[in-house]
Amino acid sequence: MPSVGRRTFYAIDKLIDNIETVAGSLTSAFHDQTIKIGVTGLAGAGKTVFITSLVHNLLTKQRLPLFSPLVGGQIEAIMLSPQNDQTIPRFALERHLDDLTAKNPGWPESTSQLSQIRVTIKYRPNQLVTRTLNSTRLLHLDFVDYPGEWLLDLPLMDMTFEDWCQQNQQLLTSEPRQSYATDWIKTCRQVNASGRFDERTVERLAAQYRDFLLRCKNSEHRLSNLQPGRFILPGDMAGSPALTFSPLLDFQKQKGDDVWSYRRIMSDRFESYKKKVVKPFFKEHFASLDRQFVLVDLLGAIEAGRSSVQELEETLDLVMQAYRPGKLSWLSSLLLGKRISHLYFAASKADLLPRDQQKKLTSLLSSFARSKGDRSLYLGAQVAYSALAAVRATEAAEIQQNGETYEAVIGQIKGEEGKSVLFPGDLPTDLRDLRNFEAGDFTLPKLTPPKLTAVDQNGIPHIGLDRALEFLLKDAFL
């Protein structure tokens, strides 16, 4: 008997086979529409699980009751189709689905590259005039999974190497960063910045600086405001000279620097990182996006405690600057007036919370995301905030304690047999309380995905994917 995973594969293969037939029945390609949808968030925010479940639920159509074009009968068919851009890695939907639907289900592996997948929807336009002119149309949805870390390079673009060194000097004199940077600081102190550079020392400085960033990221504090973004997630640039530099301590620009000095070498590589890595990403990928999902692991930050929450707030503010580029002249000039029209911020993994707390999570995310940003600067983009779970790994439960009833969840903790009743803790309702929340007030067990049966027909259980689709796409079926 074929495994569930194989059956999933088979179903998708069939869908692919059908594409030509459906495409062949199209009266005019002139009316095709393509919408490029970015899905971003920091590592572990849930991008891969989100795209996997969203695409699979679109293909199976069974679990999206709030997506009006589908329930209203406008949509005739949904299928995978070959992407237009042959140079971008294809999102590995089938592999991720096989992980989720294996006999012992597991979460997909962490990804470090930008990738893309195209879903094509055949629909009947809802406007009378277009309906009579042309009975069906195709809407191509290109979902692009890209690391939020790459957006964090934004502030570097307006910095000189000197500014960056000064910023590091300030950051590295305080904890928790300082103790993660001891090796790099030690090597840096041994280097004569105006002396002739040695490539091995430059490599050591770059490696130690990268190690410092990774220690910040993976520490109990889960720091997230870390640059350069490619040091953390290099994508296909791992090991390249463009990523071999670091800031210098006590940096002061001097006239007539030796061109082979550490100061000049580091400064030149910093500038080329901006020009050859950061700018092309914004030009070639970011500038082509029409709509955007931003996933935020707010629960993970809350669990890690106050400094992580504070750091996430700053990071989110940085990410949001990319969507209000008015202040960033270099970015505005790349976008050539093009704007993201819909922006959906979602706190992920909401299934770890009882239902009565999911609303609190949404309102925390919205005040969190708005605390620094001026919404008027989104310039016409529609913005929404929500809490969602791309894969629902829990069921609702109740706990009785001291005569009181509390909502809880039931799920299977990774590595344990059988299911447990879980109560992660009470979320604060207010942003000020959230900022003072201590690690330990809130714990989130790592759960295994649910055991999915007949996933090929029934889709994947989730919370809020249909609401997200409705917001992002309901106006696209004209």
Ligand X SMILES: Nc1nc2c(ncn2[C@@H]2O[C@H](COP(=O)(O)OP(=O)(O)OP(=O)(O)O)[C@@H](O)[C@H]2O)c(=O)[nH]1
User: Which entry of Mg ion, ligand X, none binds 349, CB below 5 to 8 A by partner kind?
Assistant: ligand X
Name all contacts of 66-69 with Cβ < 8 Å and 24+ positions apart. Answer: 66/466, 66/467, 66/470, 67/466, 67/469, 67/470, 67/473, 67/474, 68/470, 68/474, 69/121, 69/123, 69/126, 69/473, 69/474, 69/477
Can residue 476 be called a binding residue for ligand X (CB under 6 A)? no
- For residue 425, what is the DSSP state? -
Residues 60-89 that bind ligand X (CB under 6 A): none
The smaller minimum CB distance to Mg ion, of residues 45 and 265, is found at 45
CB count within 10 Å of CB 475 equals 11
Residue 14's Cβ-count burial label (10 Å; 0-12, 13-18, 19+) is exposed
Candidate segments 44-52, 135-143, 175-183, 363-371, binder of ligand X by CB under 6 A: 44-52
Can residue 224 be called a binding residue for Mg ion (CB under 5 A)? no
Q: 312 near 58, Cβ under 8 Å? A: no
The smaller minimum CB distance to ligand X, of residues 54 and 77, is found at 54
* 150-172 core/surface letters (b: 16 or more CB in 10 A; e: else): bbbbbebeeeebbebbbebeeeb
User: Which entry of Mg ion, ligand X, none binds 44, CB below 5 to 8 A by partner kind?
Assistant: ligand X
- The set of residues, in sequence order, having a beta carbon less than 8 Å from that of 143 and lying 6+ positions away, is 37, 39, 51, 54, 55, 91, 116, 117, 118, 119
The smaller minimum CB distance to ligand X, of residues 311 and 351, is found at 351
Output the smallest distance, CB 433 to Mg ion, in A. 31
List the helix and strand counts (H, then E) for the chain. 20, 10
Output the smallest distance, CB 111 to Mg ion, in A. 3
The smaller minimum CB distance to Mg ion, of residues 217 and 263, is found at 217
Of 324, 326, 301, nearest to 314 (Cα)?
A: 301
The smaller minimum CB distance to ligand X, of residues 52 and 168, is found at 52
Figure out which of the listed residues 4, 38, 46, 48 binds Mg ion, where binding follows CB under 5 A.
Answer: 48
Output the smallest distance, CB 275 to ligand X, in A. 25
Candidate segments 2-10, 163-171, 218-226, 383-391, binder of ligand X by CB under 6 A: 383-391
Q: Which residue has the tokens 């925390």?
A: 364
Output the smallest distance, CB 218 to Mg ion, in A. 16
What whole-number distance in Å separates Cα of residue 291 and Cα of residue 383?
Answer: 10
What whole-number distance in Å separates Cα of residue 336 and Cα of residue 348?
Answer: 32
Can residue 397 be called a binding residue for ligand X (CB under 6 A)? no
Residues 330-349 that bind ligand X (CB under 6 A): 348-349
Output the smallest distance, CB 49 to Mg ion, in A. 8
Please count the residues of the chain.
478
Residues 97-116 that bind Mg ion (CB under 5 A): 111
Residues 8-47 that bind Mg ion (CB under 5 A): 47
Query: Residues binding Mg ion: what is the number (CB under 5 A)?
Result: 3
- For residue 448, what is the DSSP state? P
Figure out which of the listed residues 4, 12, 48, 208 binds ligand X, where binding follows CB under 6 A.
Answer: 48
What whole-number distance in Å separates Cα of residue 138 and Cα of residue 126?
Answer: 13
For residue 360, give both structure tokens: 């609190």
Figure out which of the listed residues 75, 298, 346, 390 binds ligand X, where binding follows CB under 6 A.
Answer: 390
For residue 251, give both structure tokens: 């940096």
Binding mask 436-475 for ligand X (x = CB under 6 A): ----------xx----------------------------
The smaller minimum CB distance to ligand X, of residues 96 and 177, is found at 96
* Maximum Cα–Cα distance across the chain: 78
Output the smallest distance, CB 130 to ligand X, in A. 37
User: Which entry of Mg ion, ligand X, none binds 358, CB below 5 to 8 A by partner kind?
Assistant: none
Can residue 386 be called a binding residue for ligand X (CB under 6 A)? no
Output the smallest distance, CB 45 to ligand X, in A. 4
Q: 371 near 331, Cβ under 8 Å? A: no
Query: Residues binding ligand X: what is the number (CB under 6 A)?
Result: 23
Q: In the complex, which residues of this chain contact Mg ion (CB under 5 A)?
A: 47-48, 111
Q: In the complex, which residues of this chain contact ligand X (CB under 6 A)?
A: 41, 43-49, 107-108, 110-111, 147, 348-349, 351-352, 389-391, 393, 446-447
